[in-house]
Amino acid sequence: MAKGTSFAEKAAKAAGKRGHTCPECGQPLQTVKLVYSERSPIKDSWKFNQRFVSVCKCNEKEVYG
């Protein structure tokens, strides 16, 4: 029979280092989904594009502002 994991073991694993860090400031990078609208050149309509961006303290103002 397999050994069950306790809540303390799960919490310790979740609090561990995950993901990538910024090479400039050393903060962990947070991946966010950026959705922006742009006008279609062919039709007179709007379309929504989306992409995933990694955000830290260095580029926070560029992405959100």
In a domain, 55, yes or no: yes
Q: Domain range holding 32?
A: 18-64
**Total domains, the chain:** 1
The pLDDT value given to residue 9: 82
| Three-state secondary structure readout of the chain | CCCCCCHHHHHHHHCCCCCCECCCCCCECEEEEEEEEEECCCCCCEEEEEEEEEECCCCHHHHHC
pLDDT tens for the chain, 65 residues long, are: 677 878 888 877 776 666 788 888 888 888 999 999 999 888 889 999 999 999 998 989 998 88
The pLDDT value given to residue 42: 85
The pLDDT value given to residue 27: 86
In a domain, 37, yes or no: yes
In a domain, 7, yes or no: no
The pLDDT value given to residue 15: 67
